[in-house]
Amino acid sequence: MLLRFGIENHLSIRDRQELSLVSAKAIKDKDDHLIPCAASPSGFVVPVAVIYGANASGKSNWVDGFTFFRNSILYSQTRGEPGAPIARRPFLLDRAKQEDSTAFEATFTIGDVRYDYGFVADDTSFTEEWLYSTPKGRRVKLFERETGTFSFGRALRGQNAAIADLTRENSLFLSAAAQNSHDDLMQAYIYFQSARTDLTISASTIDLSELFSGGLDDRIVRFIGGLDTGICTYRCEESAEDDREKNMVESLYDAVSGVLTREFPKANTSALMQGFQQGYALSRLKIELGHKAESGSVIYLNISHESSGTRRLLLLLHHAFKALDQGSLLIVDELDTSLHTQACEAIIALFSSRDTNPKGAQLVATTHDTNLLRSPMLRRDQIWFTEKDEGGATHLYPLSDFKVRKEDNLEKGYLQGRFGAIPFAGSALALFGDRTHGA
C-alpha cells in the first residue's frame, strides 16, 4: 500500500510536495472503511484520495510525476540508450530550478514491511537512488547510490556489485536489478509494475478490444447495468479475414520490422512487433453490448454506438477490478470525465468497502466534481487541493489542514473559496475591464 509520494522540481511542482494516504489520527470522521496497516504511523491508510484544484493548478502534473517515476523504474534499463538524456521536465519559471535536480520518493508497504524508495535525476543521469526497509520498526539500508558509487546493506543478498556494473548512468539500479532477476528486489519492482496510472483518455478514442478479447469481467456488466444503462450482457466475435487484408498486414509488418532493425540494430524490438500483431488481431473483434428491450428481448448494439461515458466507464472498471483483485494502486486523472457523479461515487465505493476491497487496493483520482465533497465515503484526510502561488508553483495540501466540522457543507465551502484551490471567482465581465454591456 502507498503511504506517501513526494515530488520536487517537476513541471509546475517546484518545491517538494507530498501526498499522504496515512489516515489522520486527529480527526474523528467515519473510519470503518480505512485499511488496517501495521506499518502506517496511525495503524491505518485511506483507500481513496481525491485531488481538487482549478484548471492548470497542477493536479495532472502530480499524476504525470508518478507516471514518470513508475516508468523510470520499469523501463530505464531496457528502453534507454547509452548516453541518452533523461526526459525529465523541471520547473521552468525559476531559472535556478531549471538547473536543479528533480527528485521523487515513495513510502509504501509490502505485507507488514515499510519501504522508502526514491531517486534524484538531472538531465543526463540518476545522481542518487536509495531503498530502505523497516521490518519490525527498525530501518535497514538495502542500497544507496550517489554519483555513480553504490553501497549495499548486509540485508541485501544477491549479485549486487555485478548488477551495479550493468547499471548505466541514465538507468536505475532497481530497474537493472529486476531485469537481472534480483530476488530480494523483485517485490519492490512488482509493486510499481502493478500500479496503473494516467487514464486521461478521450472517450471517443478508447479502443476497448483488449478488454473483450479474453471475455469481459461479469462484474463490469453487473456494475454498468446497476447504473440504469440498460446494458445486461455483451458478445464479441472475430470478423472474417480476407486474403487481400492478410497480405497487406503482412507487408506492413515486414516493412516496419525492417525499419526498426535497420535504425535500431541493438534494440530489442520483439515486444513491439508482438504488440503490432496483437493489435491487428484485436482490431478484427466485433464488440456489441446487449440492451434489454421493453419486450424483454435483448438487442445488441455495436460498441461504437455507446455513449462516451459508457465507453470510458468500461475502461475504468477494467482497471479498477484489476486493482481490487491484486490489492494494487490505481491513479486516475480526471475521474469525472464523461461520467455522472453517481458513477464516480460508485467507483469510490468499490475501494471504500472491505467486502469489495479485501486486499487493500487504493485509488487516487483528480476531479472537478464538487458533488463528491458531500460523499459520506470521503473523510477530510482523503480530500486534497492543488493551488498555484504567484510564482506559478503548485502547492498540494489536505482538507484536514483546515478547521471544519463534520456537519459543514464542504462543497459550498470549497466553491466559496474557503479552502483555496479554485479559479477566478469574481464577475467574468471584470476580466474584460470596466466596459458594460452595450457601452
| Higher-scoring residue by pLDDT: 200, 353 | 353
Q: What average pLDDT does the segment 24-37 reach?
A: 90
212-222 confidence digits (pLDDT tens): 777 788 999 99
Average pLDDT, rounded, for the chain: 88
| Higher-scoring residue by pLDDT: 246, 163 | 163
d(CA 144, CA 428): 53
Percentages helix, strand, coil for the chain (3-state, rounded to 5) are 35, 25, 40
Task: Give residue 105's pLDDT.
Answer: 98
Contact 177, 164 (CB under 8 A): no
d(CA 293, CA 63): 41
Q: Does residue 439 register a pLDDT over 50?
A: no
Is the backbone of residue 366 left (phi > 0), alpha (psi -120 to 50) or beta?
beta
Q: Does residue 344 register a pLDDT over 50?
A: yes
* Residue whose cell numbers read 496515512: 22
* Residue whose cell numbers read 517538494: 16
Q: Residues 334, 91, 415, CA angle at the centre, nearest 5°?
A: 40
Q: Does residue 425 register a pLDDT over 60?
A: no
> Per mean pLDDT, which range of 135-139, 186-190, 194-198, 205-209 is the poorest?
205-209
Q: Does residue 395 register a pLDDT over 90?
A: yes
Task: Give residue 88's pLDDT.
Answer: 96
Domain residue ranges of the chain, discontinuous segments joined by +: 1-196+329-439, 209-239+284-327
Instruction: With cut-offs at 50, 70 and 90, classify the pLDDT of residue 249.
Output: low
CATH (one of 3.30.1490, 3.40.50, 3.30.160, 3.20.20) for 1-196+329-439? 3.40.50
159-177 confidence digits (pLDDT tens): 999 999 999 999 999 999 9
Task: Give residue 282's pLDDT.
Answer: 47
What cell numbers appear for 334 in the block?
Answer: 480526471
Task: Give residue 391's pLDDT.
Answer: 95
Contact 61, 11 (CB under 8 A): yes
What cell numbers appear for 280 in the block?
Answer: 491487428
**Rounded percentage of the chain residues whose pLDDT exceeds 90:** 68
Contact 287, 236 (CB under 8 A): yes
Q: Residues 64, 380, 118, CA angle at the centre, nearest 5°?
A: 35
Q: Does residue 140 register a pLDDT over 60?
A: yes
Task: Give residue 203's pLDDT.
Answer: 44
Q: Does residue 107 register a pLDDT over 90?
A: yes
d(CA 413, CA 420): 10
Task: Give residue 399's pLDDT.
Answer: 95
362-379 confidence digits (pLDDT tens): 999 999 999 999 999 999
d(CA 286, CA 302): 8
Q: Does residue 276 register a pLDDT over 90?
A: no
Residue 276 identity (one-letter amino acid): F
d(CA 292, CA 313): 19
Residue 419 identity (one-letter amino acid): F
> Per mean pLDDT, which range of 213-217, 389-393, 410-414, 422-426 is the poorest?
422-426
91-127 CB burial, b ≥16 within 10 A, e <16: beebeebeeebbbbbbbbbeeeebbbbbbbbbeebbb
Nearest-Å Rg of the Cα atoms of the chain is: 24
Q: What backbone torsions phi and psi does residue 74 show, to the nearest 5 degrees?
A: -80, -35
Task: Give residue 423's pLDDT.
Answer: 78
Q: By C-alpha distance, which of 135, 143, 100 is closest to 114?
A: 135
Long-range Cβ contact pairs of 76-82 (< 8 A, separation 24 or more): 76/126, 76/170, 76/171, 76/172, 76/175, 77/166, 77/167, 77/168, 77/171, 77/172, 77/175, 77/176, 77/178, 77/179, 78/175, 78/179, 78/268, 80/168, 80/170, 80/171, 81/267, 82/168, 82/170
Contact 309, 224 (CB under 8 A): no
d(CA 249, CA 346): 42
Q: Does residue 204 register a pLDDT over 50?
A: no
d(CA 233, CA 374): 33
Contact 207, 82 (CB under 8 A): no
Q: What average pLDDT does the segment 409-420 reach?
A: 92
Residues 6+ apart with CB under 8 A from 9: 90, 91, 97, 100, 101, 102, 103
What pTM did the predictor assign? 0.87
Q: Does residue 178 register a pLDDT over 60?
A: yes
* Secondary structure string (H, E, C) spanning 139-158: CEEEEEEECCEEEECCCCCC
